[in-house]
Chains A and B, each alone.
Chain A
Amino acid sequence: MTDFLQLIVSGTATGACYALAALGFTLLWQASGTINFALGEMVMLPAFIMLFFIGPAGLPLPLAFAATLVVSLIILGAGFKRLVVDPMIRHGVIPLVIATLGLSIALKQTVRIVYSAQVYTFPSIFSETLLSLGGAKLSVSDVGTVVIAGGLVLALQAFLNGTLTGRAMQAVAQNRDAAVVLGINAERMVLYAFLVNAGLAATTALLVTPVYLAKFDMGDTLGLKAFYAAIIGGFNNSRGALLGGILVGVLENLVGAYISPGYKEGVALLLFLGVILFKPEGLLGKAEERKV
């Protein structure tokens, strides 16, 4: 029973990280129709940038994170939009899928050459103490991860629904032409979406790397899980990403422990295929009727 509780809590923590990355993915899709296959690498790269700031540059972790955030916003946010997405978006979905794929290969391989294929440990922002809760031992880092990730998702939702800029971003996502007619600077709103995506990715890196460890291909599974979480939860709903992420994280832990570790990776997949077949708009999403 206590095992069970621990599995749930650590699954929730992993899932919350999936949710953060998933949220960035849905934002990009809504704002600009971009399917970003380099999502996992956009988490992996900040992890290594942070390692650089901590190691060779000798900064303490909070400062290293702040510096990484700035670099991410510039390169993975604005740079990615200008150099890769903008020139290609009018050619439809597939060229962009291929291009982000190429980007993912390039980023992964460059890091592999610079840092080798070695695994690096990564400092945690949390202490290693265990909390005792009715006999069960919970790690502070799991609980802290859930609190931070969950808080961020909710804060982002509050921003999207509660502020003028957030509403404008949603308006652009729903109907770009109408938003432009209303005087909204659509281009700027799309840029914000890319910046938020980059920020979320850097934060995800901060939270997952202590557990996943830094490796050039750490983004592979992470990116995939985030995609699943986004679709399972529902694309047009930021709480959907949170639900999807946590469902995936918890179920993986349970299947890995009680059914078969070999099919642990299959859980997200089955859940995902089920959702696609029976409720394509996602668990919390709203169905959109197609117009002729």
Chain B
Amino acid sequence: MMRFLLIAAAVIAIYFLPAGLKNYGIYIVTLWSVYVIAGMGLNLTVGYAGQISLGQAAFWGIGAYTTAIALKAGLPFLAALPLAALLCFGVGLLLGFPALRVQHHYLAFATLGFNILVYLVLRNEDWLTGGSFGINNIAEPTLLGWRISRPLDFFQFTWIATVAMGVLMALLLRSPWGRAFAALRDNPIRAESVGIDTTFYTLLAFAIGAAYAGVAGAFFACLVGFIEPAPFGVNTSLSMLLMVIAGGSGRFFGPAIGAMIVVLIPEWLRFAAEWYLAIFGVMIVVMMVWLPGGILSLPERLRGAK
């Protein structure tokens, strides 16, 4: 109960907090919120179901482009959003098939390869994606006739969606499916022997994770108003994985913490000017050496050290 109240307070505080920020600050917080959605999906695939995915940014891109193209075609945002999610769900299902055959490094590179393939399509198929010029002037979303154009409004809209996606994820993880995902992660052979259809759950872990990235992509497209292939490359997938691991993979609030690391720390490190990415890289190495379970494993780690 205490826990529930704390979470509710945090959710409300974050809803109102950015009101005091300038537009750039609001943009950063909105970006964080978008990353949290994509990260929750990846956390399902990686942290709960025990798969490896280095292709989350590809789904993020598919979601963003689908939304941009649908909005250009005159569809309302509330129609484009499920379209993006559904398309990503379908493609994610397909990406699950290699995972049935291979594991570990093979799976890492299969998903990474998939990401590059999607990137190449985004860059080369001008007729659909605008090639390296991308798609600009993406419409602001409209909800029941209300046009969301102020940055703060758009943040609050994104945040409500993030919380809703979080609630759905929590329900999924509490359901028997959540237990089946964990069983798949902990011991696939044992899982099969007690009747758990590991094929089905592997595919679904990828597909649901991808659908979350698709939703994140839809919000991202509207946030930036202009999309090009660059943000959807392998580097972003790696950041997203970093986000999940650094926050604490297989922990519900891991992606929210991890997204802060990925979005906010580079901002804070700006004082270091050109050195900031190098410092960031070293921080990642140090953190993985010292705290491989992620930030949320810190309390256990401290307790264990005593």
Shortest Cβ gap from B100 to chain A (Å): 10
Majority DSSP secondary structure for residues of A touching B: helix
User: How far, in whole Å, are A126 and B123 apart by their CA atoms in the complex?
Assistant: 37
B285 touches A102 (CB 8 A): yes
B residues 254-305 in Cβ contact with A at 8 Å: 274-275, 277-285, 287-289, 292-293
Shortest Cβ gap from B270 to chain A (Å): 14
Residues of B within 8 A of A280 (CB): 101-102, 106
- Knowing A94-B245, A105-B278, the reply to whether A272 touches B288 (Cβ < 8 A) is no
User: How far, in whole Å, are A109 and B281 apart by their CA atoms in the complex?
Assistant: 8
Q: Does B180 belong to the interface (CB within 8 Å)?
A: no
User: How far, in whole Å, are A93 and B98 apart by their CA atoms in the complex?
Assistant: 18
Q: Does B174 belong to the interface (CB within 8 Å)?
A: no
A106 touches B285 (CB 8 A): yes
B285 touches A103 (CB 8 A): yes
Shortest Cβ gap from A169 to chain B (Å): 19
B117 touches A106 (CB 8 A): no
B280 touches A228 (CB 8 A): no
B285 touches A99 (CB 8 A): yes
Shortest Cβ gap from B56 to chain A (Å): 14
Residues of B within 8 A of A263 (CB): 120, 124
B238 touches A94 (CB 8 A): no
B104 touches A99 (CB 8 A): no
A98 touches B241 (CB 8 A): yes
Segment with Cβ contacts to A, from B3-11, B21-29, B108-116, B156-164: B108-116
- Knowing A269-B116, A276-B106, the reply to whether A97 touches B241 (Cβ < 8 A) is yes
A265 touches B116 (CB 8 A): yes
Residues of B within 8 A of A94 (CB): 46, 52, 241, 245, 249
- Knowing A94-B46, A110-B278, A263-B120, the reply to whether A101 touches B106 (Cβ < 8 A) is no
- Knowing A35-B108, A277-B101, A280-B101, the reply to whether A96 touches B282 (Cβ < 8 A) is no
User: How far, in whole Å, are A224 and B233 apart by their CA atoms in the complex?
Assistant: 13
Residues of B within 8 A of A35 (CB): 104-105, 108
Shortest Cβ gap from A287 to chain B (Å): 12
- Knowing A88-B292, A94-B46, A265-B120, the reply to whether A277 touches B109 (Cβ < 8 A) is no
Residues of B within 8 A of A188 (CB): none
- Knowing A263-B120, A263-B124, the reply to whether A104 touches B288 (Cβ < 8 A) is no
Q: Does B189 belong to the interface (CB within 8 Å)?
A: yes
A residues 94-134 in Cβ contact with B at 8 Å: 94-99, 101-110, 112-113
Could you list 6 examples of A-B contacts with CB < 8 Å? Answer: A35-B108, A105-B280, A113-B278, A266-B120, A270-B117, A276-B102
Known: A94-B241, A95-B292, A231-B105. 4 other contacts (CB 8 A): A102-B280, A109-B281, A260-B124, A266-B120
Chain B interface (Cβ within 8 Å of chain A)?
A: 46, 52, 97-98, 101-102, 104-106, 108-110, 112-114, 116-117, 120, 123-124, 189, 238, 241-242, 245-246, 249, 274-275, 277-285, 287-289, 292-293
- The 6 A-B residue pairs with the shortest CB-CB distance in the complex, in nearest-first order: A102-B284, A106-B281, A105-B281, A109-B278, A99-B288, A95-B292
